[in-house]
Amino acid sequence: MSDQGNIEEDEYPTEIHEFLSDFECSLYTVDEMINTMISVSRGELLCKLDPLEQAKLDLMSAYSLNSLFWIYLVTQGVNPKEHAVKQELERIRTYMNKIKEIGDKKKAAKLDKSAASRFLRNALWEPNCGESKQLPDHSKSTCKIKKKK
């Protein structure tokens, strides 16, 4: 091994060198993200978020940690599909779907009853027979004059 902690190329098959390099870059990126999240206190972060966003943050944190544990199990040769972490990830996904449904309901269009009633009243309005003089073409008037017998 070299002084930098990297594995030298002659210690493993050359076919996997690119995969190992990509994996190392990914680990570095994950490390940076975790350090960024840890740098801000949880209380500080939560006070800036509404309850729905707080729930999303908690679920994403739990999902991320369980995903990292899944990766750890794979690197140790353990099949994570047969481990309890699989059920935990499924449980978290269920809650994530519930949070998504709640968020979708908040974003959904809401009925403004007063605006709807004004719209319908104006859209269905027909002039009275006395107001038919205001119509440009009297032949198209919908007013019916009753004939006297």
Task: Report the C-alpha gap between 43 and 27 in whole angstroms.
Answer: 27
Total domains present in the chain: 2
Q: How far is 122 from 116, CA to CA, in rounded Å?
A: 10
* Enclosing H/E stretch for 47: helix 42-47
Residue 43 belongs to what domain range?
12-48
In a domain, 146, yes or no: no
In a domain, 124, yes or no: no
Q: Which residue has the tokens 């269009």?
A: 109
pLDDT, tens digit (0-9, with 9 covering 90-100), for 34-78 = 898 888 888 888 888 999 999 999 999 999 999 999 999 998 999
Provide the Cα torsion 137, 142, 143, 147; round to 10°: 100
Q: Do 53 and 104 have their domain in common?
A: yes
Q: Is residue 119 part of a domain?
A: no
Same domain, 91 and 40: no
Same domain, 30 and 76: no
Residue 3: which pLDDT band, with cuts at 50, 70 and 90? Answer: very low
Q: Examine residue 138 and state whether it is found in any structural domain, yes or no.
A: no
pLDDT at 137: 54
Q: Examine the domain organization and report whether 54 and 103 are in the same domain.
A: yes
Closest CA to 60 of 102, 104, 99: 99
Mean pLDDT for the chain? 81
Considering the domain architecture, whether residues 55 and 83 belong to the same structural domain is answered as yes
- 66/94 same-domain check: yes
The CA distance from 8 to 64, in Å, is 30
102, 61: one domain: yes
Whether 135 shows a pLDDT value over 60: the answer reads no
pTM over 0.75: no
